[in-house]
Structure 1
Amino acid sequence: MTGRARPAVVVAATPTPNGDLHVGHMAGPYLSGDVYARYLRANGRPVIYTTCTDDSQSYVVSTAHRLGTTPEQLVETSTAKIERSLRAMGTLMVGLPPIDDRYRRTVLDHVADLHAAGRFRSRAVRLPYAENAGRFLYDGLVSGTCPVCLVGSCGGACENCGHPNNFDELIDPKYTIDPSDPVVYRVQTILVLPMEEYRDRLISYYASHAPRWRPHAKQLIGELLARPLPDVPVTFPGTWGIAAPFPETPGQVLYPWIEAMPASMYATWWAAGQVGQGGSATDHHWRADHDAELVYFHGFDNVYHWGLVDLVMLLAHGDKYTTPESNVCNEFYDLDGEKFSTSRNHLIWSAGSTWR
């Protein structure tokens, strides 16, 4: 590496296209990431600052229903608003990459490699199911009480305490779109990524990296490691998202959080091509031999996913990829005692659409 400045990849948490960016987004990961990217560039470092929309999130489905539109139309209009806001703010991002066939191929290749290497496990799990709608519930489609802090939570992870709630762990689950629809439990066989198998590597990683983390995020990681690590869903019985390519789970989709790492690799590849730093392979800039400094910027509600799940997604590939040198985590902006939330329409918009 002698004779050249070390490259850097700065990733702001991938925004869900169920609305424009709000003030919490802009003042949190997007502004912070931009400041750090500018600092590195001012010091002569080649920097790629990027993100991409998280189209497969179930929050797109629930928000589209609330707004009386289709998920596809909501993604299209929200992506345009998000890109306009980033451009109006004057960030170093060169734009949002298209969620196209190259994106989907990057995601599918990433998970296919892990499947072929035997990293996934088949599990029969109990899942909440809306009887009248005939739909399995997860993340933005289900709400209830967090089993850890006993505060209201959506599925997947609690925004209050940050702890995960997978499968049937959410207390008194309700179907977000129709709370009157009876919710029962049904057993389904899915594929999972068993994080507990990576405990030793995780402990070693956090021992060397966590001192750079902010106290609240570091505390949450410590709490998660103090108990058995959960299995992460890889596939889920649903219809919105990328169809899972595995013979064991016909008719299922990839769990949206499984897309985050290959999505970020794809976004880096696309952004690099716009600024003349392109590589032929989509994951080129994330390869360990590229020796890039990798830094994430996200909110506290993403510590579990970006700080733990996504790290395991990289470790599962062996030594192929670099790992983040830091997770820079911001706290929530509150409005009337509640966090800013696009899915709940409780926020102050960035109003990028009115900036000229």
Structure 2
Amino acid sequence: MITRAFDRSAMSWSYEMHLQPMLSAADIEGLPFGSVFGSVPAHTVSKRHAHQDGEMFIVLAGTATVVLGDEERQLGPGGVVYLSPFGYHEIRNDSDEAFDIVSIFWEHIPSAVKVLEQAPPRDALPERMLVFCPPPTPNGGLHLGHLSGPYVRADMLVRALRSMGRDARHITGTDDHQSFVAATARLRRVDPADVAATEGDAILATLRTADVGCDRLTRPATDPQHADRIRELFARVAASPTVTQQERETAYCPTCDLSLHQAFARGRCGHCGADSEGEICEACGRPNEARELVGVACRICGTPAVTRPERALWLDLDAHAEQLRGYLRSCHTSPDLLVLVERLLDEGLPAYRLARFTEWGVTLGDGQAVDAWVDLALTFLDAAAAESEQDGPARITLFLGYDNSFFYAVLLPILAFAAGLTAHLPAAFVTNQFLHLDDAKFSTSRGHAVWADEALAAAGADAVRLAMLRNAPEGRVTRITHEGADRLAQDPLYRHAHEWLDGFAALTEQCDGQVPGTGAWTDAHREFYRYLNLTTRQLDGLLLPESFSARGYVQLLENVVARAAEFRATEEALRRVPSLAEEARTSLALEFLAAKVFAALAWPVTPALAQQVWDWLGLPGHPLREADWSFLPSGTRCGSPAPGPTTVAVPATGERS
């Protein structure tokens, strides 16, 4: 006889609850399930998670709410609940006593696979999404490092959602009130407003040239109502009990008579030793105060900093630590971002200064203006609220660089908590690391960069977008060489797609300019059609913010082109056999279908080329992405096979599309 008894002293901490092994195949040979005792402490929530197993909870004691996806059930002693494979679940115990259960779980792969088949990735994408990107700082132009981060990747998601018929909007702008704009203006001896306007116009022109669309642009320096809206939101934050007036020692340059913060301060991070500006270290992601930097000096004149007392409003971030943990638990957070935020929470969040002594920004009186990062966060919340008022609520996804993690994943949510604007926070954070040029980070100040305008002029938007998505620094630092930057149009997918598409000129001539209807099918035809549908679902899965991967998307799209080219090569002999004329019709119809599929799947990556193919196929509007691919109607005309302007509108290899 084998027995087990519930024993709190034998429990270990896992899944944010107490667990104790019960019985499994390790105890009883052939036992088809595993089991554990579990206990969720009072006033806590277990970890939200999913697995491939089926699972059953049997309640021993206590009362709590079991959550499975969007369903909730309150269970008490004797209650039983079944949890399906891959269903996200948690236990919310709001009572004053522990919630004790037995969990029995088993693996049945056919059931798990069936669940996946019944829940295609497309179904998880919302009908309406707002995709935010941090507004670039208008103190210089964009380089390839900028494009490889949030901007092209966010545009890729927006286009993909629109191709599925979803309502997707891309929101960005220019971060006009950043201290980097004011510092650049001082160094150039010009007005910060002129820097923000001139450089901001150039940045937006570059994004347009890269086919990055923007549906709402926030440009604070040129928006006459911006200051009033931000002051109103700032007042809501300032009224929070976690905001206090404090006098603190602050880095100061006596030569320039400048309060040193952010771009005006330079030194080394006290945590990791990397070169750093004030308030944030890009290398390790930790916040700081400028006076805490090692060897801090004035960026404008180089004078070593002294300190002076300054009185300002400070926000107690740590007072909102548990609220922040709860928020991050409820949304998707990229692993690298989550590691940083959990480390910051464990170390204790520092207080953050809400206003600065500066002449640039949203003025508050007494020589102070809203801190640039606070201004940016409130601008985000203001834009999200405006979008909601305009078209209704939407799921918000934020693309951001890892160097902005603290400001967007800590400061932004806590400001929203303080102002009562939590409804407008992101539901998902999608981060990127850095793209390096050769072995060093892109640097505007050191001139270590390949400028986006120059690359776009040389290779065209499609080639640049493709290269940036292929080399996207997702979860890691990636690199591009100077030589590689000069050969963006030679990307394998870019070349092979053009070669494959060029071959349609002969096929169009073979069909007298009309797409044939399907005839008889072979096994090879069936499997190619199955491949197009299954690969589309795989690509859809890479668009979920929780699993977003531009790099993976490009690799799969490259496989689609290779598979289509291989299909053509193996089918050409069949089309020359008179007795297989019916099979030949299906073969050709599948080829034209593959072109339609490619146009829809490639539109988020290479929009110009994809639109050319879509138009050539005689299809209206922009490329549309079907859940299950329908054939082009029999008799559809696809242009003339004769040479000239009506030939298949696909540029030759190496030409700009």
The answer, yes or no, to whether TM exceeds 0.5 is yes
How far apart are residue 296 of structure 1 and its match? 0.9
Q: 1:225 to 1:320 in 2, by over 3 A?
A: closer
One of 44, 48, 56 as aligned partner of 2:169: 48
Query: Within 2, Cα distance between the matches of 1:343 and 1:267?
Result: 31
Verify the 8 A CA contact 1:85 1:352 in the aligned structure 2.
no
Q: Does 1:34 align with 2:155?
A: yes
Aligned to 2:204: 83
Query: Within 1, Cα distance between the matches of 2:392 and 2:353?
Result: 30
Identity of aligned residues (%): 29
Verify the 8 A CA contact 2:396 2:427 in the aligned structure 1.
yes
Amino acid across the alignment from 2:404: N
Paired residue secondary structure (2:424): coil
Aligned to 1:303: 405
Q: Does 1:103 align with 2:103?
A: no
How far apart are residue 167 of structure 1 and its match? 4.6
Paired residue secondary structure (2:217): coil
One of 273, 283, 302 as aligned partner of 1:160: 283
1:140-173 Cα deviation digits (max 9, x unpaired) = 1101110111111111110111101125221210
How far apart are residue 22 of structure 1 and its match? 1.4
Aligned residue runs from structure 1 range 55-134, under 5 A = 55-67=176-188, 69-94=190-215, 96-99=217-220, 100-134=223-257
Query: Within 2, Cα distance between the matches of 1:352 and 1:267?
Result: 32
Aligned residue runs from structure 1 range 1-356, under 5 A = 6-67=127-188, 69-94=190-215, 96-99=217-220, 100-179=223-302, 181-209=303-331, 212-244=332-364, 250-267=366-383, 283-286=385-388, 290-318=392-420, 321-335=423-437, 337-351=439-453, 355=457
Amino acid across the alignment from 1:131: P
TM-score, normalisation: structure 2 = 0.48
Amino acid across the alignment from 1:193: L
Q: 1:205 to 1:60 in 2, by over 3 A?
A: same
Q: 1:93 to 1:284 in 2, by over 3 A?
A: closer
Structure 2 residue runs without a partner (length 5+) = 1-125, 461-657
Could you say what the CA RMSD is over the residues aligned between the two structures, in angstroms? 2.3
How far apart are residue 336 of structure 1 and its match? 5.3
Paired residue secondary structure (1:16): coil
How far apart are residue 319 of structure 1 and its match? 5.7
Verify the 8 A CA contact 2:314 2:354 in the aligned structure 1.
yes
Query: Within 2, Cα distance between the matches of 1:190 and 1:252?
Result: 9
Q: 1:167 to 1:120 in 2, by over 3 A?
A: farther
Amino acid across the alignment from 1:125: R
Q: 1:122 to 1:338 in 2, by over 3 A?
A: farther
Verify the 8 A CA contact 1:59 1:343 in the aligned structure 2.
no
Query: Within 2, Cα distance between the matches of 1:154 and 1:338?
Result: 18
Paired residue secondary structure (2:297): strand
How far apart are residue 174 of structure 1 and its match? 0.8
How far apart are residue 68 of structure 1 and its match? 5.1
Paired residue secondary structure (1:204): helix
Structure 1 residue runs without a partner (length 5+) = 269-282
Paired residue secondary structure (2:139): coil
TM-score, normalisation: structure 1 = 0.85
How far apart are residue 339 of structure 1 and its match? 2.1
Paired residue secondary structure (1:55): coil
Verify the 8 A CA contact 1:126 1:167 in the aligned structure 2.
no
Q: How many residues align?
A: 330
Paired residue secondary structure (2:267): strand
1:64-99 Cα deviation digits (max 9, x unpaired) = 344454422221210111110111111221463443
How far apart are residue 46 of structure 1 and its match? 1.6
Query: Within 2, Cα distance between the matches of 1:323 and 1:136?
Result: 32
